[in-house]
A and B are shown apart, each in its own frame.
Chain A
Amino acid sequence: MSSITGRSAVEQGPGPSGDNARGRRRLGDTLFGGGAGLAGVIVIVIVVFTGVFLAISAVPSVLDDKVNFLTSTEWQTSAGNLRFGILQILWTTVSISVIAMIIAVPLGVANALFLTQYAPKWLARPAATVIDLLAAIPSIVYGLWGIQVFAPHLTGLQTFLNDVLGWFPLFAGPVSTGTVFIAGIVLAVMVLPIITAMSREVFAQTPAANKEGALALGATKWEMIRTAVLPFGRAGVISAAMLGLGRALGETIAITIIVSSVAPGAGFFASWLQGGETFASKIANNAAEFNNPESTGAYIAAGLVLFVLTFVVNALARIVINRRKAFA
């Protein structure tokens, strides 16, 4: 329940200076303020350490890498013979997230409109809770359901896509069961609650005057939404999509379960109808290989790239929403 718009309810005044009658600071205030400050410092240190430690562990392996870290599709991490590159992993990661976004953003916006503009009062709140519950289901259950229950239903669709669009690299065969395409759809369901909740919040704040004005000019409900609600919520929706993307990029276990990993050394392939590995699933699949610093470093390098990716995406989301606040 994070508020992402508007100013805080409390414009915090400074409160008492904490001086007692003799003009000395009270011990209790010093201790308590210090405690709060300490907690803050710990949080800052944790985040700084995360970046620092990942970098320290990753750098030696990247320096020892015999192939280009950014453009190679190989992944050999035996000590003394490091040949690893992230191109294929990056492609799979981005592909799955893009598919998820293509589905989840329109669906999330439509859901937010339903909850704020269409649903009757008695339904709006329970309906919102139901969508929030989608976020409560653990990833591993999504993964299990995705591969064992949902994927079989998509075999026909995938074969059809391959038959019709097979000439296009994204839909090239051979079609496998645990594909990037299916993972993207399941991931769309997983990030839907985030996008819905945030869009809902901005749509709900549309000034009533704007909506009434549109209706008074004779606009239909849909025209009112297009002219008043959507423009007002645009920044919030972009920001929501970014946060959803950040979540999608880092999803681990559902992807690990759903997407079948591909034999190493296959060379680059672009198809969405085959398996692959994302940064997160690559690391999860090979946790057993963390037996020497060199090969561990290779995986930590992948983790570091993921960290940077999600950081950039989330930072952009914050920037968009903060610029909006300035005008609110």
Chain B
Amino acid sequence: MSAVQTPERELPAALADSRGQGGRKVRNSIATVVVVLAFVIAVIPLVWILWTVIERGASLLVDSTWWLNSQRGITPRIVGGGAYHAIVGTLLQALATAVIAVPLGIMSAILLVEYGASRIARVVSFTVDILSGLPSIVAALFIYAFWITTLGFDRSGFAVSLALVLLMVPVVVRSTEEMLKLVPNELREASYALGVPKWKTIVRIVLPTAFSGILTGVLLGLARIMGETAPLLILVGYTQSINMDLFGGNMAALPLMINNDRQQALEPAVERVWAAALTLVLIVLVLNIAGRAIARFSSLKK
């Protein structure tokens, strides 16, 4: 490799300004260092955050009290109580959200893929795009204006679930759509050739084939909504007691518990804030990793 010395030689623009071999090598090395460094910089906050919540919150989680008791009667001065009320609240609200969002999302995805030629499918695709960019606080305001102001219901856990539906639907639609597109057309055609009606083909052939991918989407959607705080601030009040009723009264959830206790300066309360944060991170990460693992072992591959 001798250095090209003739300036008349046509070189790509990017190469023309650095004809000395040395300069080009140095630039290449700098680029490599920068790119690797960028990755290291991206990993630092992840490790730092995880380490912080584990270091500051783990001590409470190893005690069964944390998982089985609420904060009823506990003041910031007292050590004790647990996050049971908040964990139950988070899980119940997520469940109520999933019951609405999953069928809605899957059916919408079927519309997009299996009936994709229709005009309605194009409009739905566009609206799902809008939904996926919708800030959670705007979703919460909409439910407030619609469900509470206009229809006259009280603030409740269910109102939160309604707002979360708006955030979960796009995740379920997009992931299901991805999977349905991966189902080989030969399967559909073989089924049609046997005289099986279209709806039965979808229900008995297409959906089972794409099942693991759909499940992944549902798990990732759940992970996303469980960490949402904005709708909780507006649509439900916090309580230190256990409330299993989605339709009445204040209801705790992990993000609310964190938000409620973070204003306290006393040691026992501060410790509980980090413990609640660790609990939330654990739940969300487990859902995430489970979703990814299922996707890994899926029969459909890109």
Residues of A bordering B, CB below 8 Å: 1-3, 8-10, 12-16, 18, 26, 28-29, 31-33, 35-44, 46-47, 49-50, 53-54, 56-57, 106-107, 110-111, 113-115, 117-119, 127, 129-131, 133-134, 136-142, 144-145, 149-150, 189, 192, 196, 214, 217-223, 225-227, 243, 246-247, 249-253, 257, 279-280, 283-284, 287, 290, 293, 296, 299-300, 303, 306-307, 310-311, 313-314, 318
Contact = CB atoms under 8 A, between A and B. Distances in A.
B49 A137 contact: yes
B280 A10 contact: no
A1 B217 CA distance: 9
A313 B115 CA distance: 29
B38 A114 contact: yes
B131 A47 contact: yes
Contacts, number: 297
Contact of B133 (A43, A149, A310): A310
Nearest to A254: B229
17 contacts: A12-B114, A12-B117, A39-B108, A44-B124, A44-B127, A107-B42, A119-B39, A138-B228, A139-B228, A140-B259, A221-B28, A223-B28, A284-B234, A303-B138, A303-B141, A313-B133, A314-B130
A287 to B, nearest CB: 5
**Chain B contact residues (Cβ within 8 angstroms of A): what range?**
35 or more
Interface of B: 1, 12, 14-15, 24-25, 27-28, 30-32, 34-39, 41-43, 45-46, 48-49, 52-53, 103-104, 107-108, 110-118, 120-121, 123-124, 127-139, 141-142, 144-146, 149-150, 166, 169, 173-175, 178, 181-183, 185, 188, 192, 197-203, 223, 226-230, 233-234, 255, 258-259, 262, 273-274, 277, 280-281, 284-285, 288, 292, 295
Given A140-B258, A141-B280, A310-B134, 4 more contacts: A32-B202, A250-B135, A250-B137, A283-B141
B58 to A, nearest CB: 14
Give chain B's interface secondary structure class. helix
